[in-house]
Chain A
Amino acid sequence: MSVTDVRDPLDVDRIKADFPILIRQVHGKRLVYLDSANSSQKPLAVIDAMDRHLREYYANIHRGVYTISEESTAAYLAAHQKVARLLNAPSWREIVFTKNITEAINLVAYTWARANLREGDAIVLTEMEHHSNIVPWHILAAERGIELRWLPITSDYRLDTDELPRLLDGAKLLAVAGMSNVLGTINDIPALTEVAHAAGALVLVDAAQAVPHLPVDVQAWGADFVGFTGHKMLGPSGIGGMWAREELLDAMPPFLGGGEMISDVSFEGFTPNELPWKFEAGTMPIVEATGLGAAIDYLEGIGLDAVRAHERLLAGYTLRALRERFGDRLTIYGHDDLDTRGAVISFLFENIHAHDVSQVLDEDGVCVRAGHHCAKPLMRVLGVPATTRASFYVYNDEADADALVDALVTAEKFFAV
């Protein structure tokens, strides 16, 4: 069955109507938003849920015995339950909210890793990691004398898993992206987890790009820590989190100390609260949690299988269009196997800088990201200082891909030598 025989399961025209920002024009042109891997737009359902919380029942959580505080607390708890449902986590108590995935990975680095890793221990990372899954480990490595090992990528932009058993020898953790934010490569987490666990290493998955775009089942993945972030999955910024197995979370020391993360405090010390509150110190992003919950309801209303199928089609359409229109003049940093890639497409014209391309695209209302995408080690491996990246989501369609190609034609003409 060829890709063109498959119908898009999403009614994108209807979905577009759910996103108020898409009505906007930029430079007199329709807004073509192709930067969702950076941050997604928000549907009315999310905006309304947050607005309603603020207007009708906002109060601090866990503390009040009055009605609106109870309602606010219930919404905050429900958000944990919705994340647990989305990720198929065994218990909502295994969902810890943080302000974003960067904080979630830091939480693991500062608690689990500092309690369990000793000088000379090793952590395996991959060449395609985002800075948020690199720098916390660099900090730990420098502080504790931990060795960082790097799983390379192959010439077709996949993880070179042949190298994995050797690198994992004696390692305590494999930290890997579920999906690359530059290459679009979807990594085979169950297979990686099996190899890592066999070597005695735990597995942390940076699922910032995976959770918004793929059905994710943490139990099927078999990983130990899975981080996510709200703003890339139709929710607001300011909220993200980490799923981890309950026995790991129980054994981990607390991260930030303060209000709400305790069950008792005395002049002598404190007793940590039960999960997940033990890791949620201080007043949390309450309204943002409600927004995240609404985003999950919206995504589940569409269905993550349908989201994946839609983006698979759109990635295929865009890759074909780019290759047909520009041929060898445009390098695409990613492979064409739609089964193992998402709709994140990084590219570079031979003689035009990524920033110049995105500047000209903006003139046509097309929003893409230009730069190193917080993956400078990967940029070094690719041998480029920066790429232009178009990334698609539920509200994008073939017309958006066509607008990208048309704007790139303009950019190429504009900078022709």
Chain B
Amino acid sequence: MPGIEDLYREIILDHYRAPRNRGELPVPPANKFEGFNPLCGDEVVLYLEVDDGTVSDVKIAGQGCSISQASSSMMSSAVKGKPVDEIRRLIRAFKALMSIHESKLEGESDGSDLADELEGVRLGDLEALQGVVKFPVRIKCATLAWNTLQQGLDEAS
């Protein structure tokens, strides 16, 4: 049985206690996107400024549980100053990380196809969120910010 320390890694708690890139950006030039998890009421408000195919600035507002807040904080650090192409690869890799366990459970795959998505992408601190997959109800908390980011990039570009 997974222990609670698998879920609440120290680095996650650190991002939860001291969230990075917290705040708002003026709209425009930034774009504002909202993500909502109706199950638990978690809310991510994402401010995204994209210049010449690069995310030049990002801010996060909203409220929610430690996992959703830490995940959005880690996401903001990971994407700030990065080219959109690279960020899209990161989104795919992160979502693969979150769904390997699920697709194994559902017998859809052995996870190897998802492993391809992870090939060559440096997740860094984000790997700490891997423990979340052992707590299936909390996966949505971790992916909320990333789904919002993906939707934001689709709409902004």
Contact = CB atoms under 8 A, between A and B. Distances in A.
Given A371-B40, A372-B41, A385-B42, A363 B63 contact: no
Given A353-B66, A415-B66, A359 B40 contact: no
B4 A353 contact: no
B36 to A, nearest CB: 10
B3 A385 contact: no
Contacts of A415: 13, 16, 66
A385 B135 contact: no
Nearest to B64: A353
B4 A363 contact: yes
A14 interface: no
A371 B65 CA distance: 11
Interface in B1-19: 1, 3-4, 7-8, 13, 16-17
A110 to B, nearest CB: 26
B138 interface: yes
Nearest to B68: A353
Interface in B54-95: 63-67
Nearest to B16: A415
A356 interface: yes
A386 interface: yes
A385 B43 contact: yes
| B interface, over-half SS | mixed
B17 A355 contact: no
B141 interface: yes
Contacts of B63: 385
Categorize the interface residue count of chain A: 10 to 19
A10 interface: no
A386 B41 contact: yes
Interface residues of B, number: 21
Contact of A385 (B8, B13, B40, B141): B40
Interface string A333-375: 0000000000000000000111110011001000000111000
Given A356-B65, A359-B4, A379 B135 contact: no
B7 A359 contact: yes
B66 A360 contact: no
Contacts of B39: 371
Contact of B4 (A352, A354, A360, A379): A360
A359 B135 contact: yes
Interface in B99-157: 135, 138, 141
Contacts of B1: 27
Contact of A363 (B3, B17, B42): B3
A417 interface: yes
Given A363-B3, A385-B40, A385-B42, A353 B65 contact: yes
Nearest to A355: B65
A363 B7 CA distance: 11
A270 interface: no
Nearest to A415: B66
B113 to A, nearest CB: 31
A326 interface: no
A415 B65 CA distance: 11
15 contacts: A353-B64, A355-B67, A355-B138, A355-B141, A360-B4, A363-B4, A371-B39, A372-B41, A385-B41, A385-B42, A385-B43, A385-B63, A386-B40, A386-B41, A415-B13
Given A363-B4, A371-B40, 6 more contacts: A353-B66, A370-B40, A372-B40, A385-B42, A415-B16, A417-B17
